[in-house]
């Protein structure tokens, strides 16, 4: 009786995402946009406190620009590490994924909503990330009738 060989699990993948280093133009455009919006708030309301509060909230909302994020994809799922804090997303909690040109979206629901999703830029590891996602999520997401989108 022939034995069926199971594919070997891919090696764990570790990537660093830091837009200030990796996406300089986009990052600066966002920062300049935040400054322009703050200046517009100052012009409209003439309140330094409100303008400062607006800029602080925008800076907080754009936290992923300021801090490097380490992503680890492996047997236990996807782990995000920021400033030493770990957040693990088990593979079974990912209902859908989409491979894009610049990274992969992982969604908690079958609907593609960025509010319920996590984006991981490839950071030069496109093929390794794709292999890991396919290995751990390919069968699971197909079994839940999730749609997958692979773009060449």
Examine residue 114 and state whether it is found in any structural domain, yes or no: yes
How many domains does the structure of the chain reveal? 2
Examine residue 98 and state whether it is found in any structural domain, yes or no: yes
Examine residue 5 and state whether it is found in any structural domain, yes or no: no
Examine residue 3 and state whether it is found in any structural domain, yes or no: no
- pLDDT, one tens digit per residue, over 77-128 is 999 999 999 999 999 999 999 999 999 999 998 887 777 899 999 999 999 9
> Does residue 119 share a domain with residue 84?
yes
Using alpha carbons, select from 8, 15, 16, 4 the residue that is nearest to residue 136.
Answer: 8
38, 58 contact by CB (below 8 A): yes
CATH of the domain at 87: 2.30.29
Q: What integer pLDDT is reported at residue 147 of this predicted model?
A: 45
> Does residue 76 share a domain with residue 106?
yes
String of DSSP letters for 103-116: EEEEESSSS--GGG
Using alpha carbons, select from 62, 65, 61, 88 the residue that is nearest to residue 75.
Answer: 88
> Does residue 59 share a domain with residue 77?
no
Q: Give residue 40's domain range.
A: 15-67
Q: CA distances (Å), 120 to each of 36, 43, 63, 94, 140, in order?
A: 28, 37, 15, 14, 19
> Does residue 123 share a domain with residue 143?
yes
In the chain, pLDDT over 70 holds for what percent of residues? 86
> Does residue 79 share a domain with residue 148?
yes
What is the token pair recorded at 36? 């322009």
State yes or no: pLDDT of 53 exceeds 70. Answer: yes
Global pTM exceeds 0.85: no
Separation between Cα atoms, residue 110 and residue 97, nearest integer Å: 9
Buried b / exposed e along 124-137 (16+ C-beta atoms within 10 A): ebbebbbbbbbbbb
> Does residue 84 share a domain with residue 59?
no
In terms of residues, how long is the chain? 152
In sequence order, which ranges of 62-147 are alpha helices (DSSP H)? 63-66, 126-143
> Does residue 96 share a domain with residue 40?
no
Task: Give me the mean pLDDT over the 121-144 stretch.
Answer: 85
> Does residue 56 share a domain with residue 90?
no
> Does residue 50 share a domain with residue 88?
no
Separation between Cα atoms, residue 48 and residue 41, nearest integer Å: 9
> Does residue 89 share a domain with residue 133?
yes
């Amino acid at each position: 009786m022939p034995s069926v060989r199971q594919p070997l699990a891919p090696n764990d993948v570790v990537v660093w995402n830091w837009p200030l280093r990796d996406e300089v133009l986009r990052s600066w455009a966002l920062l300049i946009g935040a400054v322009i919006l703050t200046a517009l708030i100052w012009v409209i309301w003439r309140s330094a406190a409100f303008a400062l509060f607006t800029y602080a909230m925008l800076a907080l909302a754009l936290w992923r620009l300021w801090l490097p994020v380490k992503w680890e994809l492996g047997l236990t799922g996807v782990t995000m590490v920021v400033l030493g804090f770990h957040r693990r997303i088990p593979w079974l909690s990912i209902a859908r994924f989409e491979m894009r040109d610049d990274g992969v979206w992982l969604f908690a629901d079958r609907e593609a909503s960025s509010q319920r999703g996590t984006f991981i830029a490839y950071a030069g590891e496109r093929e390794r990330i794709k292999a890991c996602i396919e290995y751990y999520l390919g069968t699971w997401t197909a079994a839940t009738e999730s749609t997958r989108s692979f773009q060449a």
